[in-house]
Amino acid sequence: MVADWAIGNMTCEEAGKNSSDYACKSSNSKCYEPNNGSGYRCSCLEGYQGNPYLVQGYIDECELGKCPHDCRNTNGNYTCLCPKGYHGDGENCSPGESLILKLVAGISMAIIILLLVAFLLYWEHKRRSFNKMKQKFFLQNGGTLLQEKLHARGRSPESVKIFTSFELRKATNDFNNSMIVGQGGFGTVYKGLLPDNSIVAIKKSKNVDPNQVEQFINEAPGCCLETEVPLLVYEFISNGTLSSHIHNQARARFLSWDIRLKIAAEAAGVLSYLHSAAATPIIHRDVKSDNILLDHSFTAKVSDFGASRLVPLDHTQLSTVVQGTLGYLDPEYMQTSQLTEKSDVYSFGVVLLELLTGRRAIIFDKPEDEKNLAYFFLSVLKQERLFQVLDDNIWVMIKVLGNR
């Protein structure tokens, strides 16, 4: 049995005139008249599916989810488009070259930024660690003690110049070997040029006794406390050491008898101050002609306190490991390790012998009885041959004076 049906008894043309009762509601529908009987029916336009009797009775193909990207519904169909920067049929899209370049550029920029941030964080960490280390050394090397002493004595902080490690590295061209003006068992002395064009001597010790911190605070006109071992800054004495004058024939002839006496008296005055006038007596422990500096007017300045020791007021001697320079060492100190002021006096006596004879404290290529200047001089005195060992330059001066 086959059922046949139609809407009303009007034709499509007649029904379309009354829009409120017209059954073909969808704009994508059409009206047709059945072959048998009166009335009309509705059907979908070609390419459309759904219910032609409803306003929204047709399927939106974009809602079927066949297009994963940009879907645009069309009459009876749909168009699928790729996102900007991609290419393909809309359902299968792949990045275009410009997008790949943008992605590569973006990732590269992100990596660069991350590396830059990491570097800045690392640099900041190193800077803070370096500052903490400098602060640690500053306290360890007596920075607080220096400030307290200056305050207690009513002295301004400018009375002792405290340099930064950067300033002294710059002054010495990062402690370049070409700036070395002296080396010894206790450290190296560099010539430094400060920003104001003043020339200084910078002593870089090999080590420092923590018990001696107060001493160099008292003695050094300038220092750097930010390094593991304090750097001491002194006035640069341009005329070299006493040793460089005595043991150089070309320079020794300028050391007149009066100048030699002047040098001896000034050096003796320094030792007298250290032993008797300083608040706490100081034993230099390395008095020698290499540690007596001369300025352009031959004024003597005793230097290199790296081996020196403070002597408590209630002590006359100290038990220490023997230190000093061969030829200048007090024999009693060498045998007993008991350091006294007399040890400096003995060493200074050897310096006086150098001024008189022009000979070095130790000469290894001499006969055994002439190697040690002190022992040799004693034997010469016993033999009453003093005038035979005087410096030739002194003899010349004696003859000049005798002819006047």
Whether 163 and 233 have beta carbons less than 8 Å apart is answered as yes
Whether 72 and 79 have beta carbons less than 8 Å apart is answered as yes
Whether 281 and 274 have beta carbons less than 8 Å apart is answered as yes
Q: What is the dihedral of CA 170, 139, 162, 290, to 10 degrees?
A: -80
CA 328 to chain centre: 40
Contacts of 142 (CB under 8 A, 6+ apart): 213, 214, 216, 217, 225, 230
∠ CA 202-204-208, nearest 5°, is 130
* Active site residue ranges: 286
Phi, psi of 73, rounded to the nearest 5 degrees:
-75, 135
Whether 182 and 188 have beta carbons less than 8 Å apart is answered as yes
187, β-bridge pairs: 184, 205
Whether 12 and 32 have beta carbons less than 8 Å apart is answered as yes
Q: How far apart are the first and last CA of the chain?
A: 168
Task: Please indicate if the annotation marks 204 as binding a ligand.
Answer: yes
What is the enclosing helix (H) or strand (E) of 222? strand 222-224
318, β-bridge pairs: 339
Phi, psi of 175, rounded to the nearest 5 degrees:
55, 50
- Point out the annotated binding site for ATP: 204
Please report, in range form, the residues annotated as the binding site. Answer: 204
